[in-house]
Amino acid sequence: MSQTDRNNGDSLEPNSGTSGHISHARDPHDQEEGRTADTLIEADGLCRPSIGARLRVQESPHAATDRFNNIKAAVETILQSVGEDPYRPGLLDTPKRFAKAMMDFTQGYGQDVRDIVNNAIFNENHNEMVLVKNIDISSLCEHHLVPFTGKMHIGYVPNNRVIGLSKLPRIAQMFSRRLQVQERLTRQVAETIVETLQPQGVAVVMESSHLCMVTRGVQQYSAVTVTSCMLGCFETNDKTRNEFLSLVGMGSGR
> Annotated catalytic, 207?
no
In a domain, 112, yes or no: no
The domain in which residue 96 lies consists of: 53-107
For this structure, is 47 an active site residue?
Answer: no
How high does pLDDT run on average in the chain? 84
13 and 71 housed in the same domain: no
Asked about 143 being catalytic, the answer comes back as yes
CB-neighbour burial class of residue 213 (10 A; exposed 0-12, middle 13-18, buried 19+): buried
141: annotated active-site residue: yes
**Confidence label for 37 from pLDDT (cuts 50, 70 and 90):** very low
Same domain, 150 and 225: yes
Q: Is 57 left (phi over 0), alpha (psi -120 to 50) or beta?
A: alpha
Query: Is the domain of 100 the same as that of 126?
Result: no
Same domain (yes/no): 101, 131:
no
Per-residue model confidence as pLDDT tens digits over 61-110: 998 999 999 999 999 999 999 999 999 999 999 999 999 999 999 999 88
Number of domains in the chain: 2
Q: Would the pLDDT of 133 be above 50?
A: yes
pLDDT tens for residues 178-220? 999 999 999 999 999 999 999 999 999 999 988 887 787 778 7
CATH (domain of 213) = 3.30.1130.10
Same-domain check for residues 183 and 224: yes
179 Cβ contact partners less than 8 Å away, ≥ 6 residues apart = 106, 140, 141, 142, 145
Q: Is residue 48 in some structural domain?
A: no
141, 173, 183, 235: which is the annotated catalytic residue? 141
- 63 and 159 assigned to the same domain: no
Return the pLDDT at 89.
95
